[in-house]
Chains A and B, each alone.
Chain A
């Protein structure tokens, strides 16, 4: 099954332009419809920003994409595979190709930076040799500009550095897609700008496509090819930064003030 999925991923992504298709997805917690028919496609090579107020369900949305939450309705296809119909190995194969940068970084605080980067490799790629793994770790850390931290613990790093390590940890697997959950929230403006630049560099160098969740408009302006606005569980509007900024609709313009 895992091998099948991997083959399909390779073929599917060559053929189609759509890497992730989210189609009328609903998700309820208790009585609350957090997602209520949300629909959007992520094109290959694109950076798609999802804007929405706090608590509007942005994190829930991308956690559904990676299968951390089960949807209550609609379909999500990632790299051509319907997430809901995959067995455990199939889901793992998808997850090896989709990086997830958590809002709180989620670095394992009992492990060094090296072990943090090793973990997904050892778990997902059973065939990687020790030397190859080490090379990938060193290269990826160099890409995020933190080669010297390799033997440090996450608690010794600043917030911005932790964010870079968390990005490095998703990049060691060479993912096709990266899902960013508020990558610049809680960082100072300078560091936030550096992270935005790093995201753009990553997109170019690693040929990734990405969904970026953010309400930091500087980061949005810098990284977004398209912007979708999540409101009341639906995709309220979609367009480029300039299109949406010029909108007369108050519900849209409030994000750009």
Chain B
């Protein structure tokens, strides 16, 4: 009985999210574009996330390098440190860590913001003010997260490589030219492109789930909290699921 209700709930939710996605694409291409609002969201979502992404990226590169060194040393391939670290960062750790931090900051923020707008009838107020709230609130935000996360990921990867350079130099001496020569020699186009492409899907999922949870928030301040929380949980989970799927797809396409 309980399981039945749970399964029904899951299917109901999946259906509702699918309709939400369909509505997003329907509204995305229909004219009357909220350009100003979109730019504002790109600023809030992209630019204001920069410090956090930069700090975590730097630490990620540094720590990863320090952790990998002993293992490589025991195999006698310490010289491969820049290569190993940069491959790990660019292909997997950079995109996923950045997406998870982004999900924690942005998805919950959007969930709480739209949720409180919903329960205080601000969304209804927009609608009676001659504005399509879905276009004004949802389309602008989802588009902004979809476009900003890839850019943030590239920045985060780059900063992580600098962190890694520092890590390499704690117990060794490599010039920055040599370090980046090794890194770029190791990285191939097929390492970079799929990794950046999947962050487009991460960004879409994070923005969309935040908006969906907020837009469908139930009444009361408690509902807003629940929306914000559910937004982070679901979008973080989706990041891993999309990661798993894209790895299978690039594998099948022989891009590895």
* The one of A92, A96, A100 that contacts B125, using a Cβ cutoff of 8 Å: A100
In the complex, the answer to whether B128 meets A66 with C-beta atoms within 8 Å is: yes
In the complex, the answer to whether A92 meets B124 with C-beta atoms within 8 Å is: no
Name B123's closest neighbour in chain A (CB-CB): A106
* Secondary structure type dominating chain B contacts: helix
A96 to B127, CA, bound (A): 11
Shortest beta-carbon distance from B66 to chain A in Å = 42
Question: Is there a chain A Cβ closer than 8 Å to B9's Cβ?
Answer: no
Contact with B along A179-198 (1 / 0, CB 8 A): 00000000000000000000
A102 to B121, CA, bound (A): 7
In the complex, the answer to whether A124 meets B124 with C-beta atoms within 8 Å is: no
Shortest beta-carbon distance from A178 to chain B in Å = 12
Contacts of B126 in A (CB 8 A): 108, 119
Shortest beta-carbon distance from A137 to chain B in Å = 15
In the complex, the answer to whether A104 meets B128 with C-beta atoms within 8 Å is: no
Which residues in chain A, 90-129, are within 8 Å of chain B measured between CB atoms?
92, 95-96, 98, 100, 102-109, 119-120, 123-124
In the complex, the answer to whether B130 meets A102 with C-beta atoms within 8 Å is: no
Contacts of B119 in A (CB 8 A): 104
In the complex, the answer to whether A123 meets B122 with C-beta atoms within 8 Å is: no
A173 to B120, CA, bound (A): 22
In the complex, the answer to whether A120 meets B130 with C-beta atoms within 8 Å is: yes
Contact with B along A144-167 (1 / 0, CB 8 A): 000000000000000000000000
In the complex, the answer to whether B120 meets A104 with C-beta atoms within 8 Å is: yes
* The one of A100, A105, A123 that contacts B120, using a Cβ cutoff of 8 Å: A105
Question: Is there a chain B Cβ closer than 8 Å to A68's Cβ?
Answer: yes
A119 to B37, CA, bound (A): 13
Question: Is there a chain A Cβ closer than 8 Å to B190's Cβ?
Answer: no
Which residues in chain B, 111-125, are within 8 Å of chain A measured between CB atoms?
116-117, 119-122, 124-125
In the complex, the answer to whether B121 meets A120 with C-beta atoms within 8 Å is: no
In the complex, the answer to whether B129 meets A124 with C-beta atoms within 8 Å is: yes
In the complex, the answer to whether A102 meets B129 with C-beta atoms within 8 Å is: no
Question: Is there a chain A Cβ closer than 8 Å to B131's Cβ?
Answer: yes
Contacts of B117 in A (CB 8 A): 108
Name B119's closest neighbour in chain A (CB-CB): A104
Question: Is there a chain B Cβ closer than 8 Å to A63's Cβ?
Answer: yes
In the complex, the answer to whether A120 meets B129 with C-beta atoms within 8 Å is: yes
Query: Using a Cβ–Cβ cut-off of 8 Å, how many residues does chain B contribute to the interface with A?
Result: 14
A123 to B129, CA, bound (A): 6
Name B136's closest neighbour in chain A (CB-CB): A123
Shortest beta-carbon distance from A106 to chain B in Å = 4
Shortest beta-carbon distance from B63 to chain A in Å = 37
Contacts of B129 in A (CB 8 A): 95, 119-120, 123-124
Task: Select the residue from B119, B120, B121, B128 with max chain A CB neighbours within 10 A.
Answer: B128
A108 to B129, CA, bound (A): 12
Shortest beta-carbon distance from A116 to chain B in Å = 9
* The one of B120, B124, B131 that contacts A63, using a Cβ cutoff of 8 Å: B124
Name B132's closest neighbour in chain A (CB-CB): A88
Contacts of B122 in A (CB 8 A): 106-109
In the complex, the answer to whether A106 meets B121 with C-beta atoms within 8 Å is: yes
Shortest beta-carbon distance from B8 to chain A in Å = 15
In the complex, the answer to whether B131 meets A123 with C-beta atoms within 8 Å is: yes
In the complex, the answer to whether A106 meets B130 with C-beta atoms within 8 Å is: no
In the complex, the answer to whether A102 meets B131 with C-beta atoms within 8 Å is: no
In the complex, the answer to whether A104 meets B131 with C-beta atoms within 8 Å is: no
A104 to B125, CA, bound (A): 10
A120 to B127, CA, bound (A): 10
Name B122's closest neighbour in chain A (CB-CB): A106
In the complex, the answer to whether B125 meets A123 with C-beta atoms within 8 Å is: no
Shortest beta-carbon distance from A107 to chain B in Å = 8
Contacts of B131 in A (CB 8 A): 119, 123
A92 to B120, CA, bound (A): 22
Residue pairs across A and B with Cβ atoms less than 8 A apart, 9 shown, are A95-B129, A95-B130, A96-B130, A100-B124, A102-B121, A102-B125, A108-B117, A123-B130, A124-B129
Contacts A100-B124, A103-B121, A124-B129 supplied; 14 other A-B pairs, CB < 8 Å: A95-B130, A100-B125, A102-B124, A104-B121, A106-B122, A106-B125, A108-B125, A109-B116, A109-B122, A119-B131, A120-B130, A123-B129, A123-B131, A124-B130
